[in-house]
Structures are given as C-alpha cells and as structure tokens.
Amino acid sequence: MSEKKEALVPELDELLHKFTELLTGEATPERVEMVKVWCLYTTMAKAMPPLILHWGSEPEHQAARNQIREIIEQIKQWNQAKNQTQ
C-alpha cells in the first residue's frame, strides 16, 4: 500500500501547478509531472553537462533519454500553441 507523501514545501507544488498552467496552457496532473521532468533535466544539463552526456550515452538509458526528449518536445509544442492563441 503506497502512502501519498506530503510535500516538503507545499507552496512549491502550488507554484509548479501555476508555472505549468502558464507554460502549457493547462495544468493537468500529467502535464505537471512532465514539467517536473523537464525542469529537473534541463537544470541538471546546465549545471553538469558532462554528467548528462555520460548518462545519455549509456545504452541502458537510451529509452529514458528518448522519453525525456519527447516530453521536452511536447512541452515546447504546448507552449507554442498557447502563445499563438494569445
């Protein structure tokens, strides 16, 4: 039985929800999770590029790397669509 963990900083969850809404046009639970992945991955890539390059070059991480790329591309598409309707 999995218990839902309490957020360490609940206000950050609220901020992430609003950020997702402003970035993609809506803040569904799936989009919030995708934005979390995008934020974390891009932050790590900027802070430690060699780590990300090494991780992404490992054969066992190819599927995950491709999934992250798809998430990033989807977020870009949602953002572009949102910006075009404004």
Distance CA 34, CA 28 (A): 10
Backbone φ, ψ for residue 26 (5° rounding) = -160, 155
Segments of the chain with pLDDT less than 50: none
Q: What are the distances in angstroms from CA 37 to CA 1, 46, 65, 71, 77? A: 25, 14, 11, 8, 16
The answer to whether the pTM exceeds 0.75 is: yes
Distance CA 86, CA 66 (A): 31
CB 24 within 8 A of CB 82: yes
